[in-house]
Structure 1
């Protein structure tokens, strides 16, 4: 049997701009225009792409909103609920905590139902173990310093298990394991690339938090420390830096 990965959904609307703005505001998501002319407004929901367009045969509110419900996992349901309230469209079911799991169902501008979910750490680990999702990992000298850096400086969600291993949540599907190794020596290559929608904003944020960018011979960087590969047709714009254990990381557009 052929299998594939579901990575996007298409919503059609007679007011795609309003629909786009609602999803971008509620989920603090970036938006990109794809295609010629009207094209698609693509909302990046942490690696799942919600494509929004207009169609002549789609008008008004959803006739059967419960027929298809979009599930969106978030890190903080109460904070997301505040943004839903700010949009003023109401709820199908307000946020509720059940055994450590959070659930809510919001109503988007077209009347579609959007279920907002935050599973408990225990249930999320069980689901990941059951699915045998592939993951990568690397070592650090000091797990506490790594947890502070990846959580507080880079803003990633970081979990720690009973054995002292860290799990970095890059998005809802991608995990990286960080494990302690007291005699750790950093590799001579980049161990983790972090895509960002705006590399200048990302570099400015790193600088505000005291992170110094790395420069390499043969990799010409501008005054900010960014190698501008896109304008030269040499790949993405990229900037390198290191974690407290000397592991080389990058942000790239």
Structure 2
């Protein structure tokens, strides 16, 4: 029924301008406010809209994943730009740089945007 439908994703922030600066200047993604005041991320194969929510509470799950060719290189570049990668000790245990290389699942590293939303880098297989 919805197989051929266009789709997009949304999530909230508590500060549109700070989010715009983060996505533009730190992640290098063109982000602009649209006519409705929503922040649009210009990505190759995915439409993302970020909306202002006064009582914003960040999700406790990943809201956006980026597929990368070399996760080690991307983590290094983003760390130099001030990104702090999350470290975990559970079944998704990460190394000291925040990279999970377990037996199950992809090589992945999680970080947060200024509103506390969880984003990730996933190494392309």
Of residues 12, 15, 36, the one that matches 1:142 is 15
CA contact (8 A) 2:87 2:95 kept: no
Please tell me the root mean square deviation across aligned C-alpha atoms, in Å.
Answer: 1.7
From 86, 97, 100, give the equivalent of 1:224: 97
Q: TM-score, normalised by structure 2?
A: 0.88
C-alpha displacement of 1:169: 1.9
- Whole-Å Cα distance in 2 between the matches of residues 215 and 223 of structure 1? 7
How do 1:109-148 residues align onto structure 2 when only pairs under 5 Å count?
A: 133-148=6-21
**CA distance in structure 2 between the aligned counterparts of 1:138 and 1:147, rounded to whole angstroms:** 13
How far off is 1:240 after superposition?
0.6
Q: Which consecutive segments of 4 or more residues in structure 1 shift more than 3 A?
A: none
CA-CA distance at 1:151 after TM superposition: 1.2
> Number of matched residues?
120
Q: How many angstroms apart in 2 are the aligned matches of 1:159 and 1:209?
A: 21
Q: Secondary structure at the match of 1:139?
A: strand
What does residue 43 of structure 2 align with?
170
TM superposition score normalised by structure 1 = 0.45
Structure 2 gaps, min length 5: none
Give the structure 1 partner of residue 61 of structure 2: 189
- Counterpart Cα distance in 2 of 1:240 and 1:185: 18
In structure 2, the residue matched to 1:214 is: 86
Aligned runs of 1:1-253 on 2, under 5 Å?
133-171=6-44, 173-218=45-90, 219-229=92-102, 232=103, 234-253=104-123
Higher helix share: 1
Provide Cα deviations, 1:24-50, integer angstroms capped at 9, x if missing partner: xxxxxxxxxxxxxxxxxxxxxxxxxxx
SS for the counterpart of 1:179 is strand
The alpha carbon displacement at 1:143 in A equals: 0.2
Shift of 1:197: 0.8
Cα shift readout 1:150-189 (whole Å, capped 9, x = no counterpart): 1111111212112211111221x31111111121001111
Answer whether contact 2:13 2:50 (CA < 8 A) is retained.
yes
Q: Is the contact made by 2:64 and 2:119 (CA closer than 8 Å) also made in structure 1?
A: yes
